[in-house]
Structure 1
Amino acid sequence: MSDKLTGALSAMDPCAAVSLVGRSAELRVVHSLLATAIDRGSGLMLTGAAGVGKTALLDVAAQRAAEAGFRVLRVTGSQFDRTVSFAGLHQMLQPLSEEIAALPTHQAATLQAVLGLSEGQPVEFIAIASAVHAVLSQTATRARPLALIVDDAAWLDRPSAMVLGIVSRYVRTGSIALLAASRTGDESFLSGTGMATHEIRPLDDTAATALVAERFPALAPRVRRRLVAEARGNPLALLELPSTLDKPQQTERGTLPAVLPLSDRLKRIYCEGVSALPAGTRRLLLLAVLDGSGDLRTLRRAMATPEARPGLCPAERGGLVQVDVETGKLVFRHPLTRSAVMELSTSAERRWAHQVLAEEFPAGSDRRALHLADAAVGPDEHVAVLLHDLAYDTLRRGDAVGAINALLRASELSATGAGKGRRLAEAACLGANITGDLRNVRDLLDNATGADSRATRSLPAAVAAASQLLNGEGDVDTAQRLLVNAIDNDATLRQSDDTMLSEALHTLLRVCFFSGRPDVWRSVDTALSRLHPHAPDPQLPVMRAALGDPAHLALPVLPRLDELTSDLHRETDPTRIVRTSAAGAYVDRLPGSRSSLRRVVDDGRGGGAVTLAIEALFLLANDAYATGQWDDITALTDEGLGWCTTYNYRLQAWPGRFLQGLLAAARGDDETARTVANTLVSWGNPRGLGILRTYSAHVKALSALGDADFGMAYYHLTSVTEAGRLTSPHDLWLLWDFVEAAAHSGHHAEATAHLETIRALGVHQLSPRLAMIADGAAAIADQASVDRDLFERALATPDAECWPFDLARIHLAYGERLRRARASGAARPHLTAALATFERLRASPWTTRAANELRATGLQPRPTNATKARPSPLTPQEWHTAQLAATGLTNKQIAAQLFLSPRTVAAHLRNAYPKLNVTSRAGLRDALTGLAGEVEG
């Protein structure tokens, strides 16, 4: 039977089906204790701070012991029963009445007296301990071992503790597992017995975060991080603290208190030590909590005595605080002690402390304003003004949530209805445009109107309402009317401060972009011309040009855009990061914004500016598409779309869906591409969202081009653009598509007109990628000839490999032309290069086109496994140059075949030699053969 028990324990996974997060090591310790106890008894004392999870581990131990065939006895000490003699033994022995009756008469009588079942008096402790040990030994057999689980051992009554202390010394004489738990530092019956101890440590941050996420999945990420930091790995605190927050605070729609409140259970743990302190010490600790810096000099001045340190002695002796020997600052040993100090203070004491601390900071400082706000009892316009200014300083530092909280508190302290209404409207504006929770905007605007009926006619209110209309329902026409009227009514465009005026104009920019109608941009141009040269934000003219009409207006502002982009690594305001990045999207400046955009995404994941994080994700996905990092697109867009659903951003979702549709079209998933394209039109057309119609045409045209259906592609493209006109910013992304579709479908005049416009506007000067595409498009416009100079110039664009899909399409077009011109040998390298890139991108329609063209040259494409193959270290040009060199051809002969110069051929070979680990032509054949095998997988 014991072998069966041992086998059962051996087969049992110590951590399986257990809901204790982060306790795998402790569970293995318990499992080992039970396994050892079968053959020879063993004991273990678990120690740890209150709430660290000792009882939870004992519960699991009892469950596992029972499952393994142990008989389980449980004893729990309590403060209430601590004065009741033998209360602990009574809990343990109650289930053993039958076993007690089978003991020798004197031992049975002893235990019956202990249990109060007879009139006899208990004898000395050694006799009681002997009887207890006898009944436990009789009960515990190898066939059915005994698990004795004792919780809160330090709270057992003294007689029971003494008896169990004696018994614990002899557990090894039977099949008994003794597992007890007690707070660290508490004396218990096991103290001094030599029994092994195991300290239960707080959870690490990873486990703590997982526990909170599992039990409270609705918590906003930033709130979750705050709770994890405050709980310091204490599981009880992690599970109790969320219950002290209301729903808005849990989802970060409400303000989190500076010091978290405690639940009743946590109060019993953390308030006990604080409540025992002298009143003066508690006041000093309250100042320390509200100051937060730990600076003892501040505390000394605030208490108006140079001898402040002795007042901390009771708290230091109680283990609540300590002075860090390195920094000299006061440190609370556990963050929740701060909460206990706050819980035990009165509102009058807290206001006193804030007022005292406010005097420690100079006029105009943020800390002074915050302390004065917390010390205020009723309306105080002076403090409201200070908080209003603080809000925008906070916003410029990138903390939009903090800015809104400051505005809300400023509204509460406003002495007039007009001030209250204006500040609520500004909070609504920032909430709609930056933090991302549209659900609060209407409530804030209603409250603003209740405070001042004129608030709804203010510029901030108009921006908030327009943002809600735009981001929610996509109502661009109503949003535009609201914004234009509010801006026009804003006196001389200087009634509001620069921040609100800037928000209004940036929102109007977004309205114009999504409308997709060139005439709508006149409203922005009118406002900017009236402001010139004193625009409230230097980004506005840049965004108007580079985002609104890059083909016609971007060239003059590119130096300023490049300057703004190069400074993004130092920028702390996520609003400016996203707006600068968006301005650079159509002119290929996104690579310079990547790291900054990722910071914005991280901020959004942490509960910061969610609206901006959504835009940042989609801008990163745009960049991933252009630069061939296609496997990243789905993850980026899925995350952004998830936030759009959570925060009810309906319009904001469509750029993400467009990118998913574009990826589907490029990879031949025609059903998904068609569904996305049709949905874009069905949602966008009734709302006048021209950009969604353009997105839809782009997706449909790309699908058609992949299948070489050039007539259908031309049909889709001409539904949103016109030959020889670049009226939409998105037309820059359709240059190649339009010329290819027109040239292949017999619309030669239209292709030529488009190219003339491209040349006249200087599109090639906007970015190297656009220069490459412009040269490539010019090369394919005339179907009757092969313009090798234009093709070669396009392929020689610096860093052309950075845009693999565009580059591969140019290689494909060049190869097609060369093959049709009966230059099959020259076509093969280009077709092979295109095929390799399309396979890596899993662009299956283009893979098929390139493979078919390659076969038509008489060369069978090499079989590849794009998902498993190791990428070649050589570029396509290096590969084909090395292949020809391996056959014995000279540089001049290779140059003639590949339409390159001998110098270029020599450069390709110099690059290829070290990559192949060879030093001359002699080793090329073997190296290329081995590499081909590896690449083919």
Structure 2
Amino acid sequence: MATQSRSRGRAAEFKGRRGERGVLDQLIEAVRAGESRALVLRGDPGMGKTALLDYVVEQAAGCRVVRAAGVQAEMELAFAGLHQLCAPMLDRLERLPVSQRDALRTVFGVSPGPAPDRFFVGLAVLGLVSDVADEQPLICLVDDEQWLDAASAQVLAFVARRLGAESVGLLFAARVPSDELAGLPELVVDGLPESEARELLDAALTGPLDPRVRDQIVAETRGNPLALLELPRGLTPAELAGGFALPSAAPLSGRIEESFRRRLDALPAQTRRLLRLAAADPVGEPLLVWRAAERLGIRAQAATPAAEADLLEFGARVRFRHPLVRSAAYRSASLQERQDVHRALAEATDPERDPDRRAWHRAHAAPGPDEDVAGELERSADRAQARGGLAAAAAFLERAAMLTPEPACRARRLLAAARAKLDAGALDAALGLLVAVEAGPLDALQTAEAEHLRGQIALVQQRSSDAVRLLLSAARRLEPLHAGRAREAHLEALGAAMWVDDLNSPGGLREAAEAARAAPAGPDPPRPVDVLLDGFALRLTEGYTAAVPTLTRALELVLAVNVADAEVGRWLWLAGASSSAIVALELWDAEASHALAAHLVQLARDTGALVHLQYALDFLARTHLRAGELTAAALLIEEDRLIADMTGNPPVAYTEMMLAAWRGQEARASELIEAGLRGATAGGVGRMVTFADYTNSVLYNGHGRHDAARDVAWRAFERDHPGHGTYVLPELAEAASRTGDTVLVKAALEWLSERTRATRSDWVMGIEARARALISHGDVAESLYRESIARLGRTRVRAQLARGHLLYGEWLRRERRRVDARVHLRTAHDMLTTMGIEAFAERARRELLATGETARKRTTETGDELTAQETQIAQLARNGLSNPEIGTRLFISPRTVQYHLRKIFTKLQISSRLELDRVLPSAPLVGPR
């Protein structure tokens, strides 16, 4: 099977394997230099053999790659694997000697005849690959060789032993290579070293994990990459967090579980009990396990049968043969046995050194409600966040509530657990806890808080109409009970109402704004949330100019807060989901918008707040879109989708349609818009209609369909949703000017002028200057175009800067100033192409052709220059920072860093970080912009 790359994304996620990659790099270089090489990659399932083959594909620039894989179902079909490999080359059969050509025709069923001698088949394949390699170095990859049919394995081994100087590389990957490959060079693929295994596991997690539990997982998987990647996918964040979940939650294959059960049942009773004890402790600390074993009367000799059965070993840590052995051991215990081992572990755990784990073991040892244990769990919840994030805190709080005997206290703890479940992304679990809350006696404050939580959940589930109703009701209930919480609920109600289309309907934005104005005063001095609420209420009731001073102050307060403060973090999440993001847009402050988004992403990552992380990722992706960093935006959007898949919650998705439009992908953008509108109708998310109209306006302007762009941009503009002007106004002004509709351009300018009188950021001033240039003439128009480009050049809004060069260049060409036009059209074309804004780049290319200059039509993949973000990453890598450290510095994930490094190496024509110092110019240490 011929392929360029069966999985282009996989190499981007590659972790470690420096030695193995070095061997493969040498093989590729030898093939490029005219030599031939054969190599067998041998390793257990999941060790990364296929990933190493994918790495070869990614690195084999200039080589032709063909690929085949053994298939169990085809092991009895002679030459099935060989046909996979050779099928793309059969157009060259006529170049082979007649006997060899006929041999291949016969075995592949192309022509009838008696079965040929396999020696002739081998010679034919050798001749075929040599002929292909005469034109271009050839690399043949054979995966799962252990499942090849015997005939194919024999022929390919024959070829591998007879390769000389044909510029051919032949690589096999196998669990246990067949006898035919005996004697060929081998590369054993073992488990990853601990440091690389930890890095890979961290990349697969979406929230924090107790380092001790992480080390235990790494030890028990023995560095197997597949096991490290798959284990987190099979468990919820709560099940992984800090080890504060039971192995019984882990899914087990029936056959594997039964196999382990039989092995466990054959052990002596004390050994089985020791295994259950060790299974209940996720840390694997030997002294702790032995102290607990002593309390249960288990003697040290009980470990010997477990070690002899290769199920458990005691060394620097207690390590099971496989994580599923741990699960089988725990599941095989009765409830009483589990309580006994947890009680022993609790008694053996130092209350000063590890109070949280002691509390957790005490909880699982408790036969019924126990306020002492419940109180200890509640005290552990705050500390748990430092190790396991919100999921761990939620697990503590839920268990504490279940053990609480007093109804009112139980309701309070259930509410706290539901709130933590919501933040961690477990929406169904949060709703289930709320049902338990509402079943018990509640006071007025608890009733309001329960309704508040239901509103927050509805907002995350994108049921905006329900969210507004619930949040407004909760805010009004809270007003006489707790003014601070009431104001928080009012801000969330405003944020939810911004997603509802009909501003003046009952429960719409107008009602939410008026309710916010009537809310009780906040504390003195006011918190960020209080100033945000006042600013939005002013904006929606008294207009833009009246609100700007308060909005400006609100943004300053939000940007100045300490993101490590948990209480502040709650305000930031409120703001991050809607309010602060919109404030930054209302004030046309691109730098503040990006800084705030980066802070929100980092805060959500650090605490494991998956719901907030999804919205923060979408927010940050939009700032990258404005900066023309489409690849970075795409990776953040992909991460949002991965979190959605893991939690079962919907992806945020709004920025994905915008990305497709900026890329000029009409079919993809239309598909996403239609899907978004269907969801919006079901959830009452009217703001999605405005998003859709804006997205279409970008798409239509890019493809030169300005009349259609004008109509959809005008619809979006008329709705005047807060925060949307920064998106819609540039599209409306351009489309209206291109269709001669000066009335609409002037309407846009009147709207912009109100903004520029109140806030004079370079972003809004640059867009206003460009809008005026579009309906001006002569020197006035030229001066305005130049002013717009100069102002936008001082901001992060580089996508609009590139389009400014395009519009100026188009104007210069119409003025018959071809030489001047080429300068700006060439700048626009280069910027837009590098960014991946293809439709607008094509506009620039056509305009350049009209000036008499030829512009090469290319995509971002052919660009040789590093983008600004790639330059930052390259310099940080050159300065010795690891992928996680670079990710922390630039507020992106380690996986995103690795993706960019692969592109950097390709562009710079190098193969490792060690070469960066040679190819990069001297530069100071860099950090986030």
User: Paired residue for 1:415?
Assistant: 405
8 Å contact kept, 2:487–2:522: no
Cα 1:575–1:454 change in 2 (3 A) is closer
Cα 1:736–1:350 change in 2 (3 A) is closer
User: Paired residue for 1:6?
Assistant: none
Residue deviations 1:118-141 (CA, integer Å, cap 9, x gap): xxxxxxxxxxxxxxxxxxxxxxxx
CA distance in 2, matches of 1:839, 1:202: 42
Measure how far apart 1:763 and its partner are: 7.1
| RCO comparison, higher one (Cα < 8 Å, 6+) | 2
Structure 1 residue 714 corresponds to structure 2 residue 710: yes
8 Å contact kept, 2:763–2:795: no
Residue deviations 1:110-157 (CA, integer Å, cap 9, x gap): xxxxxxxxxxxxxxxxxxxxxxxxxxxxxxxxxxxxxxxxxxxxxxxx
User: Paired residue for 2:852?
Assistant: 859
Could you say what secondary structure the match of 2:752 adopts? helix
User: Paired residue for 1:672?
Assistant: 668
User: Paired residue for 2:219?
Assistant: 232
Could you say what secondary structure the match of 2:520 adopts? helix
Measure how far apart 1:694 and its partner are: 0.6
Structure 1 residue 511 corresponds to structure 2 residue 499: no
8 Å contact kept, 2:427–2:457: yes
8 Å contact kept, 1:410–1:423: yes
Measure how far apart 1:717 and its partner are: 1.9
Alignment equivalent of 1:533, drawn from 505, 523, 540: 523
Give the total of aligned pairs. 660
User: Paired residue for 2:595?
Assistant: 592
CA distance in 1, matches of 2:693, 2:465: 22
8 Å contact kept, 1:800–1:807: no
Residue deviations 1:573-592 (CA, integer Å, cap 9, x gap): 87666555552462323432
Residue deviations 1:383-411 (CA, integer Å, cap 9, x gap): 54554455356569982112211221221
Mapping for residues 396-415 of structure 1, pairs under 5 Å: 399-415=389-405
CA distance in 2, matches of 1:792, 1:202: 59
Measure how far apart 1:698 and its partner are: 0.3
Structure 1 residue 480 corresponds to structure 2 residue 463: no
CA distance in 2, matches of 1:567, 1:299: 47
Measure how far apart 1:242 and its partner are: 14
User: Paired residue for 2:756?
Assistant: 762
Cα 1:290–1:752 change in 2 (3 A) is closer
Cα 1:477–1:646 change in 2 (3 A) is same
Alignment equivalent of 2:801, drawn from 802, 807, 816: 807
| Farther-moved stretch of structure 1 (200-209 vs 615-624) | 200-209
CA distance in 1, matches of 2:715, 2:693: 7
User: Paired residue for 1:622?
Assistant: 622
CA distance in 2, matches of 1:218, 1:819: 53
8 Å contact kept, 1:484–1:523: yes
Structure 1 residue 542 corresponds to structure 2 residue 532: yes
8 Å contact kept, 2:528–2:571: no
Aligned AA for 2:429? N
Aligned AA for 1:669? Q
User: Paired residue for 1:28?
Assistant: none
Residue deviations 1:834-888 (CA, integer Å, cap 9, x gap): 22222223434323433343344x432333534455556999xxxxxxxxxxxxx
Residue deviations 1:196-251 (CA, integer Å, cap 9, x gap): xxx998765699899999xxx99999699958734614569999999999998698
TM-score (structure 1 length as normaliser): 0.57
Cα 1:338–1:517 change in 2 (3 A) is same
User: Paired residue for 1:463?
Assistant: 452
CA distance in 2, matches of 1:398, 1:347: 23
User: Paired residue for 1:100?
Assistant: none
Mapping for residues 136-175 of structure 1, pairs under 5 Å: none
Cα 1:426–1:509 change in 2 (3 A) is farther
CA distance in 2, matches of 1:239, 1:863: 43
Measure how far apart 1:693 and its partner are: 0.9
CA distance in 1, matches of 2:633, 2:770: 26
Mapping for residues 177-576 of structure 1, pairs under 5 Å: 204=193, 226=213, 229-230=216-217, 232-233=219-220, 252=239, 257=244, 260=247, 332=317, 334=319, 347=339, 350-351=342-343, 354=346, 360=352, 373=363, 377-381=367-371, 384-385=374-375, 387-388=377-378, 390-391=380-381, 399-432=389-422, 434-452=423-441, 458-472=447-461, 474-490=462-478, 492-494=480-482, 504-505=489-490, 507-516=492-501, 518=503, 520-521=508-509, 522-523=511-512, 526-527=515-516, 529-533=519-523, 538-539=528-529, 541-542=531-532, 545=535, 553=547, 556-558=550-552, 561-562=555-556, 564-565=558-559
User: Paired residue for 2:633?
Assistant: 633
8 Å contact kept, 1:621–1:659: yes
Could you say what secondary structure the match of 1:636 adopts? helix
Measure how far apart 1:692 and its partner are: 0.3
TM-score (structure 2 length as normaliser): 0.57
8 Å contact kept, 2:270–2:298: no
Aligned AA for 1:445? L
User: Paired residue for 1:793?
Assistant: 787
Aligned AA for 2:791? T
Gaps of 5+ in 2: 1-35, 51-71, 76-178, 180-187, 251-256, 308-314, 869-929
Residue deviations 1:348-367 (CA, integer Å, cap 9, x gap): 574476468686589xx867
Cα RMSD after superposing both structures = 5.9
CA distance in 1, matches of 2:407, 2:303: 52
Structure 1 residue 694 corresponds to structure 2 residue 681: no
User: Paired residue for 1:743?
Assistant: 737
CA distance in 1, matches of 2:49, 2:706: 61
Residue deviations 1:532-571 (CA, integer Å, cap 9, x gap): 2369963453377489879654554445535644667756
CA distance in 2, matches of 1:872, 1:751: 37
Identity percentage over the alignment? 21
Aligned AA for 2:532? V
CA distance in 2, matches of 1:747, 1:24: 61
8 Å contact kept, 1:515–1:689: yes
CA distance in 2, matches of 1:513, 1:13: 61
Measure how far apart 1:622 and its partner are: 0.9
Cα 1:841–1:385 change in 2 (3 A) is same
Structure 1 residue 20 corresponds to structure 2 residue 5: no
Could you say what secondary structure the match of 1:836 adopts? helix
CA distance in 1, matches of 2:219, 2:362: 30
Gaps of 5+ in 1: 1-9, 26-59, 64-176, 178-198, 322-329, 876-937
Cα 1:707–1:484 change in 2 (3 A) is same
User: Paired residue for 1:34?
Assistant: none
Measure how far apart 1:12 and its partner are: 11
User: Paired residue for 1:919?
Assistant: none
CA distance in 1, matches of 2:702, 2:226: 55
Aligned AA for 2:784? L
CA distance in 1, matches of 2:800, 2:747: 22
Cα 1:14–1:745 change in 2 (3 A) is closer
